[in-house]
Amino acid sequence: MLSLSPASPARQVLREVFGYDSFRPGQEEVIATILDGQSVLTVMPTGSGKSLCFQIPALVRDGLTLVVSPLVALMEDQVAALKLDGVAAETINSSRDRETNVAAWRRVAAGTVRLLYISPERLMTGRMLAALQRLPLAQIAIDEAHCISRWGPSFRPEYEALARLPELFPAVPLSAFTATADAATRQDIAAKLFNGGGRSFVTGFDRPNIQLAVELQRDGKRQLLDFVKARAGESGIVYCLSRKKTEAMAELLVQHGFRALPYHAGLDSAQRTANQNVFMTDPGIIMVATIAFGMGIDKPDVRYVFHANLPANMEAYYQELGRAGRDGRPAEAFMLYALGDIRQRRMFIEEDDGDSDHKRREHKRLDALIAYCETARCRRQVLLSYFSEDSGPCGNCDICLNPPVTEDGFEVARHALDAVVQTGQRFGAAHIVDLLRGGDTEKIRSLGHDRLAAHGRGRDESKETWRSILRQLVAADYLRLDISGHGGLSLTETGAALLQGQGDFRFRRDAAGKAGTRARKAVETAELADADAALLAALKALRLTLAKERGVPAYVVFGDRSLIDMARRRPSSRDTFAEVFGVGEAKVRDFAEPFLEAIAKFG
């Protein structure tokens, strides 16, 4: 394991430029590995500080660091934040006029820029590649690296061209970063970018500050209104499946007195940009959106993500819920799902241009999400186990907080597990259900499965019940779903033990239940409780004013954690202001005076 010495230049940059006293979990080894000249793939939860992992090496090593990023808005915000920290960073992108881009390139070519943010489309042009090959590159960092993989939830064809980078820049270390990559996606990224080599760091997928909850949709409009009313004044994102529903839900919220804006691909780009800017800058805005409102939404104080419809799969769900609580404070991810959503998602998969293998894989990914919805087990355990991460019950999901009513499923589970074993642990759920129900299909007859002991053993249960039981067995880790293959079910070690009579299994027969929208868990951080509320409000107002003057989102000036620390410490000089969390030398220079003045007014 590589580490950094106490006198390392990286530690000096961490403190003097970014204003932090210590690294977050996982950062130090990734930074040390990059500084050692090795290529790395890093999977870190959203909000855990991925960007610092390539920004600090960029400031320690000589030469230019190239950062490949998928969205203009994300590049602009990150460059603005770096400049406020006193870092020479630039972006060349389509939102800027030619004169601005040419001026930025001149600074890059002159060697005065340490980080250049650029989209994959612009990077992979012959002219840009030729120009960059003449410059001393220190590293190439690829953000949102899951976009390069067809296995991932957000594949972007333009990212595939990045697989040429090792050939074009053989002496330049590559670093790839993402918050969303299961094992198959990670292997694909490493194969494309590192020819299967490089080092991989997976620091975990858990976001413990986000409370997880799922309800069957009964009256979607009422459920949304009840949820939002309990969180009045807070920023949130409401995801909808269609443009029409996005418009309708935004209008519903406005009619009930909320500041809500729509965002979908059907709006013209100017309107989308305007709505996004309001959401990023103003407090208490609710963005009602399709998945067009996605990557690059780096607003730290989003307090909830509400899915009005079922997401596409577990990876997409994880990515979307990860837009809540990036500041580390309590946040919520609440999902409604309905049978109609499931049917529509199946239809989308079938209508996709992918081949049969791709469609089969996507159906199985959707199966895993449905199992998550129907589970009677801690939701966080199910979510993390999908990404091959173990955890205990979280105490911060609806299942842990309000355990559902279940029934003994020992016998039905053993029937299902036995059917999987008797058929060779290679068939999917549909065939197992047909077998248990005593089906007389051509497939069952041709395989001779009508002669198996399991055939017809579960006639007393409906197809839907068996499908739900199998999904819950997958969710509870008794059965494993082969997502990267043909979707076959096989027994886990726990499942094999249950089949031998060891352990138990309880299941939910009616996943809908009668639970209404639950009461919000009133949790605030101890830091907030200690801070003077009036002073904190004044500091937030000052931050918003300064951000608008500079044309940047408020969090780029200071994050909430910095303001909370400021309100607690009440610094009275530039030296004590420099001790505040997230305050580096540039922010002391640019912001000490107005914030010290505001603090002084509170005695």
Question: Can you give the CATH number for the domain in which 586 is found?
Answer: 1.10.150.80
Examine the fold and report which residue of 384, 401, 418 is the final residue of a domain before the chain moves on.
401
pLDDT: which is higher, 47 or 589: 589
* DSSP assignment letter at 397: B
Question: When comparing pLDDT for 481 and 556, which is higher?
Answer: 556
Report yes or no on whether pTM surpasses 0.85: no
The residue out of 462, 477, 507 marking a domain boundary is: 507
593 CB-near residues (< 8 Å, 6+ apart): none
Specify the length of the chain in residues: 603
CATH code where residue 444 lies: 1.10.10.10
Mean pLDDT of 217-241: 94
Counting Cβ atoms within 10 Å, is residue 483 exposed (0-12), middle (13-18) or buried (19+)?
A: buried
> Does some domain include residue 521?
no
Residues 257 and 387 occupy one common structural domain:
yes
User: Are 197 and 224 part of one and the same domain?
Assistant: no
Say if 518 falls within a structural domain. Answer: no
Mean pLDDT of 528-536: 68
Number of other CB atoms surrounding residue 62 within 10 Å: 8
Considering the domain architecture, whether residues 487 and 570 belong to the same structural domain is answered as: no
Across 443-470, average pLDDT? 92
Amino acid at 428: G
Average pLDDT over the chain reads 88
pLDDT in tens, 11-32: 999 999 999 999 988 899 999 9
Q: Is 437 found in the same domain as 564?
A: no
The answer to whether the beta carbons of residues 223 and 249 sit under 8 Å apart is no
- The pLDDT of residue 507 is 87
Is there a single domain that holds both residue 433 and residue 570? no
Exposure string of 468-481, with b = 16+ CB inside 10 Å and e = fewer, is: bbbbbbbbbbbbbb
158 and 226 assigned to the same domain: no
Question: Is 221 found in the same domain as 140?
Answer: no
Give the pLDDT band of residue 394 (cuts 50, 70, 90): very high
Q: Are residues 473 and 530 in the same domain?
A: no
546 and 499 assigned to the same domain = no
Print the domain residue range for 183.
9-202
Return the pLDDT at 295: 62
Structural domains of the chain, count: 4
DSSP per-residue letters across 473-514: HHHTTSEEE-TTTT--EEE-HHHHHHHTT-S--EE-S-SS-S
Residue 3 inside a domain? The answer is no
pLDDT at 530 over 70: no
Query: Can you give the CATH number for the domain in which 286 is found?
Result: 3.40.50.300
What are 159-199's pLDDT values in tens digits? Answer: 888 999 999 999 899 999 988 777 878 888 888 898 877 89
**Rg of the chain in Å (alpha carbons):** 26
Report DSSP state, residue 519. P
Is 512 inside a domain boundary? no
pLDDT band at 523 (very low <50, low <70, confident <90, very high): very low
Nearest to 407 by CA among 515, 338, 504, 518: 504
- Give a yes or no: residue 86 inside a domain: yes
Q: Is the pLDDT of residue 515 over 50?
A: no
Q: Is residue 367 part of a domain?
A: yes
pLDDT for the residue 586: 95
Identify the sign of the CA torsion 302, 306, 307, 311.
Answer: positive
Whether residue 4 lies inside any domain: the answer is no
Count H helices and E strands in the chain, helices first. Answer: 29, 17
User: Do residues 427 and 502 share a domain?
Assistant: yes
**Are residues 479 and 555 located together in one domain of the fold?**
no
User: Residue 567: in which H helix or E strand, if any?
Assistant: helix 560-569
Closest Cα partner for 278 from 250, 299, 257? 299
Q: Is 236 a domain residue?
A: yes
CB atoms within 10 A of CB 400: 17
pLDDT, residue 512, reads: 44
Output 107 or 2, whichever has higher pLDDT: 107
356 & 420 share domain: no
Last residue of a domain, one of 341, 376, 401: 401
